[in-house]
Structures are given as C-alpha cells and as structure tokens.
Structure 1
Amino acid sequence: MTTRQIIELLQQLLHSLENGELVEMGFQRRARRRELAARVAEELKRLTAPAHPAIREARERWATTSFLRIDQDERVIEVNPDGTSWVRAWVKISTVFPARADTPGRRSFEAAVADMPEEMRQIFLTHALDGLPYEAIAEQLHIDVAQVQLQIGLALARLDEAVAQAKEMPE
C-alpha cells in the first residue's frame, strides 16, 4: 500500500467512526469510537503534514545518484540528540555477487572493498561475512549503532558505484 492509499483508507475509517457507521462491527461504545477516531486523526495529521525541510535537502543532495531513492511521499525524519537529521531512503544494491574472480565486476568489487577506509571496511566485512547485527558490531567497536548504519550504507554505495562502473567499461 502506498502512503496515499493509507491516507485514503484512514480518512474513510475516520469518517465512518465519526458518523457512527461502525456500530455493527463492534464499535458500539462511543468512548471507544472517539478514542480510535482520535488516534486515526493524529496519524492522518502526521501523514498529511508538509514534508520536513531536511527531506527536500536530502533529495537535492542525492538527486544525481543512481543508488539512492527517497520516496515522494516521505514525511519521517529522525533527529539525533546532537541535532543531526536523518531521512529514510532506499539504497539500491545488487544481490548478485560476481561469481568468477576474473570478471571486471568482481575485480572492481574487491578493489572497492580494499580502498574503503579501515573502519568502513571492518564494519562492512563484519556484517557481510560474519552476519553480525548492527548492535553487536557497535558494541564490539565501541561506536554508536547510527555510525554502523552510516558506514554500511556508505560501503554499499561505494560497491554499487564500483560494480556499475565496471559494467560500463569494455573487458
């Protein structure tokens, strides 16, 4: 379901709750209907509010990339205690690892991993090869979970770019 469809569904539900149309469905108690209507109205308010300026800024900064997408209906940001704003986005990654060692994609992938800053490489490999969750990596390296997430995201972006460039180059 898209956010627009969710908004439409919530608007219909709110209308039905406010007009007593759901009495037959177990919402006989007026207090229960009011409570549910208030919750639906609050969620609708959040979903239909103007997007936070940080979302527009993130879209502008990342507009030229091929590996990141911020949904058009995105409204949610997260603000850390230090004031840093985070915007949700989708990172495009290839799930196909170049199987043969002699392919340009495989060589580019390995070179991109080798060229990563030490902390980024350590975090990426610990997660990718050992399968450790973000929290365990953060605890092991004495860093914040947000730093682990950031480094993995940056590593994936580097790898995607390196493999994409290798595909464009003649063998």
Structure 2
Amino acid sequence: MARTGTRNPLVIAALALTVGAAGAAGWGGWQRYEAAHDEAASFAQTRDDALAAGEQAVQNMNTLDHRALEEGLDSWEQSTTGDLRRQLVEGRDAFARQIAEAKTVSTATVLAGAVTELDQRSGRAGVMVALRVTVKAPKGEPAVKESRLLGSLTKTSEGWKLSALGQAPVGSTAG
C-alpha cells in the first residue's frame, strides 16, 4: 500500500535545483543578449578599433628604413586614404630617392593615444598620438624626438584609415 501525504525530500531538492538552474540560465542568457545589443558597448568597441588603427597608422607613417624602402612606403599607402594617400602615391618616387640618398632609418614608438572625436554615422574619427621617433643616419648619434600628432581617420571597407595627419599645437592654456 502506497503512502499518501508524504513527499520524498530528494525529489523536492532536485526539483528546486532544476528550477534554480533554469532561472539562472535564463537570466544569464538575457544578460548576454542585452550586452551584445548594447549601444554603449558597440560605441566603445568602435572607439577602441579607431584608436588602435590610428595609433598603428601614425606609427607606420613615422617609421621608414632605407634598406626596406618599398615595404615601408607600401605600409604608408596601406595605412592611408583620400587626399593623404593620393599625396603619398604622387610623391612616392621623389621621396624614395631622398630617403635612399640620406640612408636614414626612422623608428617610431607610440607613447600614448586617445580618440578626440568619433562619429560612427559618418565614419569619421580623430586621434591624438604621442610618439617617440628615433632617426639614425649613417654618421653621428641617433636623433630622438617626441611629438604629438593629430590624425583624422575615415572608415573604409578595409577598416579605419588615416586621411589627414599633422602636428598637434603645443602651448600653454594658462591664462
């Protein structure tokens, strides 16, 4: 004869654990969905992508070895777009001659970088990059210079590319 009115505590515990696990899985899935569709996360990822591309492009534009001139100039062209790229392509031969004659090796190291503006809709961004550039000539000691550069980036089908580059103004804001 079967008992009525008594419940097995193991069945109750297993049921409670099953309900708890299902609830936790549902909550975790919902949190993951929200994170994947969060505009702030998307904006942050775009900002990080633009900064990484901007830092790399500025570093590329300040690194050139006369012994690997074609590869270096190719890197410049691959890092740029628009008028900046057009200027590099048009002046490539003259610049290559100058560097080959000077026999210099320029190496840039990014010290810091920041996105100064970002417009996802238009595919435009601005970066400021602090660099240390070392230029070695065949004779004499290497010259080391630290500078801050402002770059404009344009989003292309290949990713962010440098569309303008110039010196950042240096001065005091104290009044």
TM range (shorter): under 0.3
Larger strand fraction of residues: 2
Larger radius of gyration: 2
Q: Which has the higher helix share?
A: 1
TM-score (norm 1): 0.24
* Higher relative contact order (Cα pairs below 8 Å, separated by 6+ residues): 2
